[in-house]
A = this chain, B = another copy of it.
Amino acid sequence: MVTIKDVAKATGVAPSTVSRVIADNPRISAETKKKVRKAMKDLGYHPNINARNLVAKSTKAIAVIMPSSADKALQNPFFPEILRGIGSITHSMQYSITLSSGQTEAEIFEEVQRLVHGSYVDGVILLYSRLEDRVTSFLREMKFPFVIVGKPYENMNEITHVDNDNFVAGKEITRHLIENGHEKVAFIGGSKELFVTIDREAGYEAALQEAGLEVSDSYKIHTEFLKSGGREAVETLLSLDIPPTGIVITDDLMSVGVLSLLEESGVRVPQDISLVSFNNVYLSEIIRPALTTVDIQIHELGAQSAKALIEKTVNKSEPVKRISIQHQIVYRDSVSKRLK
């Protein structure tokens, strides 16, 4: 390994001078700079990050924590996409990403402790948000910079987070159904412990009420991730006295499941039932009918969270922020106009 000393020796200057050249210190003559830089290139010098971190007490690295993989949800294309968003920022700022997943919540907790205590990273992005999460409490206690993608369960004004306005999004997409003549619209969401579900559902209800439509519990389904369980739920929905003509579903991947179930039962989409959902994942575009869905800008969600986090790590007194990412409805073919 070629070190700063080697470069110094080769150039006939002191190590400190080389160090200054690296930092592009203005009080080094242009001449020596050129000389030193040449030597660096010739020798193939690259700064050793560990040595640098050691003295700088900073790592220029952030950790990204994925939800425990008990969540089957991990197969959701949401994750690669958000990672790309984060990566676009980290790359441009010369930061690295340390990825951390884990089978269980405990494993993740361990890992995070290791990461922050060992000074592996300068900050943490949480790709989930759970009630009474030890990781969150730990990070707060340590006063360690972190941001949550989504909505924190507690201390919302004290935790920087980036999220969509899921309430409004839910309202708008439901309204779209209503405007197309649907008066019986159902809701299928994931776990009601999740804020995404809660918010989108609240938006759904608000749209209904706004239109003077009835909000009925029998029209609302919560299912983890539809396999057998979701199946029955959908069947129940269909066998109602007055089955819905439109469904709001909180996730494109779930929509695919529902869609399949429906068509299997001979119900056609959108002729018999209209579907709308959230995320605008690639999948929603290749499936038939292509899904009308709200684009939540996953990439941007990632980019903004990385940006906010990095700002926080360089300036610890950066104020708490609550960043809201725009959403936009993408109109495709899963909604039909219904004559009254």
Binding site for B on A (CB under 8 A): 1, 46-51, 53-54, 57, 59, 61, 64, 66, 69, 72, 74-77, 79-81, 83-84, 87-88, 91, 94, 96-103, 107, 111, 114-115, 117-120, 226-227, 253, 256-257, 260-261, 263-264, 281-283, 285-289
Q: State how many copies of this chain the complex holds.
A: 2
| Least CB separation from A92: chain B residue | B107
A260 to B291, CA, bound (A): 12
Q: Which 10 A-B pairs have the closest CB atoms?
A: A260-B288, A46-B117, A49-B118, A257-B286, A75-B282, A50-B53, A75-B77, A87-B101, A99-B99, A264-B288
| Extra 4 A-B pairs, beta carbons < 8 Å, given A46-B117, A75-B77, A75-B283 | A49-B119, A51-B54, A74-B80, A94-B114
Chain B residues, CB < 8 A from A288 = 260-261, 263-264
The smallest beta-carbon distance between A58 and chain B, in angstroms, is: 10
Instruction: Say yes or no: A48 contacts B98, CB within 8 Å.
Output: no
B101 x A84 contact (CB < 8 A):
yes
Which residues on the B side are within 8 Å of A289 (C-beta)? 264
Beta-carbon contact of B84 and A111 below 8 Å? no
Smallest Cβ-Cβ distance to A299: which chain B residue? B69
Quick one: given A84-B69, A287-B257, are A91 and B74 in contact (CB under 8 Å)? Answer: no
24 residue pairs of the A-B complex, CB under 8 angstroms, read: A49-B119, A50-B51, A54-B54, A61-B98, A69-B84, A74-B81, A75-B77, A75-B80, A75-B281, A75-B282, A75-B283, A76-B80, A79-B80, A83-B101, A87-B99, A88-B103, A94-B114, A96-B115, A98-B99, A227-B285, A256-B287, A260-B286, A261-B288, A263-B288
> Which one, B76, B119, B226, B287, contacts A48 given CB within 8 A?
B119
Closest to A286 in B: B257
B46 & A50 in contact (Cβ 8 Å cutoff): no
Residues of B within 8 A of A57 (CB): 1
Do A49 and B281 form a contact, CB below 8 Å, given A263-B263, A287-B256, A288-B261?
Answer: no
Query: How many Å lie between the Cα of A286 and that of B119 in the bound state?
Result: 42
Q: In the complex the two chains form, what is the Cα distance from A267 to B281 in whole Å? A: 26
CA distance A301 to B1 in the complex (A): 33
CB-CB < 8 A to A74: which residues of B? 80-81, 84
The CA-CA distance from A226 to B290 in the complex, in Å, is 13
Q: Are A282 and B72 also in contact (CB < 8 A) when A50-B54, A287-B260 are?
A: yes
Q: How far is the CA of A66 from the CA of B46 in the complex (A)?
A: 24
- The chain B residue sitting closest to A55, CB to CB, is B50
CB distance from A340 to the nearest CB of B (A): 28
| A79 CB contacts on chain B under 8 angstroms | 79-80
